[in-house]
Amino acid sequence: MNVLLTGSAGFIGSHIAEALAAAGHRVRGLDARPGVLDGEGADVRDPEAVARRLDGVDAVCHQAAVVGLGVDVFDLPRYASVNVQGTAVLLAEMSRAGVGALVLASSMVVYGEGAYTCERHGPVRPGPRSEEALRAGRFEPDCPACGRPVEPGVVGEDGPLDPRNVYADTKLAQEHLAASWARMTGGSVAALRYHNVYGPRMPRDTPYAGVAAIFRSRLLDGEAPLVFEDGAQRRDFVHVRDVARANVLALERLAAGPPGAPPGAPRGGLRAYNVASGEPRTIGEMARALAGAFGGPAPRVTGGYRLGDVRHIVARPDRARRELGFSPSVAFGEGMREFARQPVISS
């Protein structure tokens, strides 16, 4: 296939470019930063630049985005411009060019809080945790009906969506735009909801970095990783090479027919997939594993918090395994040891 890869110079995009090339596909890049695939660089919000790169393309892998939860309210225009407007421009130009297959980089953040069960009320969706509760060290969400403790579970792709920060808002907007495009054009979309991605080339020295990058930056400076809350927040950490392979599998599945349907079925629609290891870890566990692989210092639990963070978000990745043939290949301990040894990449 001839594949247009947006965000090709980024952390995840650069790995996808390598995985696509290794699988025998021809990759054309589009990134605001100059790179090997991108020549002078181009903005996904520029219709003429997008149209030029779509010429002769069979499918698009859309990774270009402003990432991270956002720092303050003044981030809103940039997130909306790049993530939402950029996606709208891409979809319009794909329609003009007759390209009908899209793999979209989405995120676990579209779920908000994860899945929970109350002993009395069954499955429940806790609301955002209050600053008063966080300040008092009450980190676990309560049942919204009775206020009792709830038991965390795993989220599937058909669960309710409840974005709780600006990045999550724009990721869900991307999914909605892509679904509308698919309905209007008969195109097919695989929306890959990445969980906590880590690995080589993860940049440091940016306020928008993920938790693994932040911890590693402190270790590189000889400082202890600072773990928020009590460190018991549950996440799913998935290696970037596994994420890249999931993109290749999704693109190849789209070439065979729409995701979730037998090969040769009519095109049309969006299908979401959790891209995760399926083996949840706590933030504290991850910090200890990384510090141990790095040789210390040991993490320090601070009790601090960020409004908008969720407590537990753990995936059920069965659909990606069943329909795409995806299963993780990089074990957690192996991945953390490799990550600890990687050269530093500036943002």
Q: For residue range 36-56, list pLDDT tens digits in order.
A: 676 678 999 999 999 999 999
Q: What pLDDT score was predicted for residue 209?
A: 66
Instruction: State which amino acid sits at residue 247.
Output: N
Which of these ranges, 170-184, 193-207, 210-224, 257-271, has the smallest mean pLDDT?
257-271
Q: Exposed/middle/buried for 122, CB within 10 Å: 0-12, 13-18, 19+?
A: exposed
What does the H/E/C string look like for 25-94?
CEEEEECCCCCCCCCCCCCCCCHHHHHHHHCCCCEEEECCCCCCCCCCHHHHHHHHHHHHHHHHHHHHHH
Q: What pLDDT score was predicted for residue 261?
A: 67
324 near 245, Cβ under 8 Å? no
Residue 9's φ and ψ, nearest 5 degrees, are -95, 0
Q: What is the DSSP letter of 264?
A: T
4 near 57, Cβ under 8 Å? yes
Band of pLDDT at residue 264, cut at 50, 70 and 90: very low
Which tens digit of pLDDT belongs to each residue from 89-133? Answer: 999 999 999 999 999 999 999 999 889 999 999 999 998 899 999
CA distances from 113 to 66, 123, 148, 176, 233 (A): 21, 13, 17, 20, 11
Q: What pLDDT score was predicted for residue 203?
A: 81
Which tokens belong to 285?
Answer: 């566990």
Which tens digit of pLDDT belongs to each residue from 285-294? Answer: 999 999 999 9
Q: What pLDDT score was predicted for residue 295?
A: 92
Residue 321's φ and ψ, nearest 5 degrees, are -65, -45
Instruction: State which amino acid sits at residue 243.
Output: V
CA distances from 338 to 157, 199, 255, 300, 341 (A): 30, 8, 33, 22, 5
Task: Report how far Cα 105 is from the mean position of its chain's Cα atoms.
Answer: 6
Which tens digit of pLDDT belongs to each residue from 309-335? Answer: 899 999 889 999 999 999 999 999 999
- Which residues have C-beta within 8 Å of that of residue 37, sequence separation ≥ 6? 5, 8, 9, 17, 27, 28, 29, 31
**Strand 151-152 with 116-118, pairing:** antiparallel
Query: What percentage of the chain has pLDDT greater than the value 90?
Result: 80
Task: Report how far Cα 289 is from the mean position of its chain's Cα atoms.
Answer: 22
Please tell me which of 21-30, 66-75, 153-162, 211-220 the model is most confident about, judged by mean pLDDT. 21-30
> How far is residue 7's CA from residue 146's CA, in Å, rounded to a whole number?
45
Q: Is the dihedral of CA 41, 45, 48, 51 positive or negative?
A: positive
Q: What is the DSSP letter of 278?
A: S
Q: Average model confidence (pLDDT) for the chain?
A: 92
- Residue scoring higher pLDDT (220 or 208): 220
Which of these ranges, 44-58, 110-124, 153-167, 264-278, has the smallest mean pLDDT?
264-278
Instruction: State which amino acid sits at residue 315.
Output: A
Q: Exposed/middle/buried for 111, CB within 10 Å: 0-12, 13-18, 19+?
A: buried
What does the H/E/C string look like for 104-155?
EEEEHHHHCCCCEEECCCEEECCCCCCHHHHHCCCCCCECCCCCCECEECCE
- Residue scoring higher pLDDT (342 or 339): 339
Q: What pLDDT score was predicted for residue 190?
A: 97
Band of pLDDT at residue 20, cut at 50, 70 and 90: very high
Q: What pLDDT score was predicted for residue 265?
A: 46
In this structure, which CATH number among 3.30.70.1450, 3.40.430.10, 3.40.50.720, 3.40.190.290 belongs to the domain 2-114+155-341?
3.40.50.720
Q: What pLDDT score was predicted for residue 260?
A: 67
Q: What pLDDT score was predicted for residue 266?
A: 45
